[in-house]
Amino acid sequence: MRIEVRGRSGLLSDPLRAYAERRLRFAVGRFASRIEKLTVRVEDVNGPRGGVDRECEIVAKLVPWGGLKVEERDLDLYLAVNRATERLGRSVAREVQRRRDLRSAIRRTREGVL
C-alpha cells in the first residue's frame, strides 16, 4: 500500500503529512493487501476569503480493480483529515465485504447450492 500526500495552497506541512499517513495506516491498515495506492490531497478551497473551506480528498485504488473516493471539508484541516480517514476506513470495509459476498455467491452458484 503506497501513500501519497499532496497539498495545494501551501497547506501541507511535515506534521500534517505525518498525521495523515498515521491516520490512514490506522484506518485501513488491516486492508493493506487490498489497497494498491492511497492519494491524499489537501487544499484551501476559498483561499484567503475564509470560511469552512479546507478540504481533504482521499482516493483509494483497490486491488484488483476499482477505487473509492471520500472528501471532507472543515475549518481545521486536521479534523478534515481525521473525518476523511474514518469514512474511508468504513467504505473500504464495506467494499471488501461486498466482494467477499459476491465471491461466495458465485462459488455457491457453481457448486449448485442455490
Cell numbers for 101, please give them: 459476498
Closest CA to 2 of 41, 56, 38, 42: 38
Mean pLDDT of the residues in the chain = 91
Q: How confident is the model at residue 112 (pLDDT cuts 50, 70, 90)?
A: confident
Give the pTM: 0.87
Residue 42 sits in which domain range?
2-111
Residue 9 has pLDDT above 60, yes or no: yes
Q: What is the pLDDT of residues 46-73, one digit of tens each?
A: 877 766 689 999 999 999 889 999 999 9
Residue 107 has pLDDT above 90, yes or no: no
**Of all residues in the chain, what percent carry a pLDDT higher than 70?**
94
Q: How many domains does the chain have?
A: 1
How far apart (Å, rounded) are the C-alpha atoms in residues 20 and 3? 9
Radius of gyration of the chain from its Cα atoms, rounded to whole angstroms: 17
Q: How confident is the model at residue 98 (pLDDT cuts 50, 70, 90)?
A: very high
Q: What is the CATH classification number for the domain harbouring 12?
A: 3.30.160.100
- What does the pLDDT average to over 1-18? 89
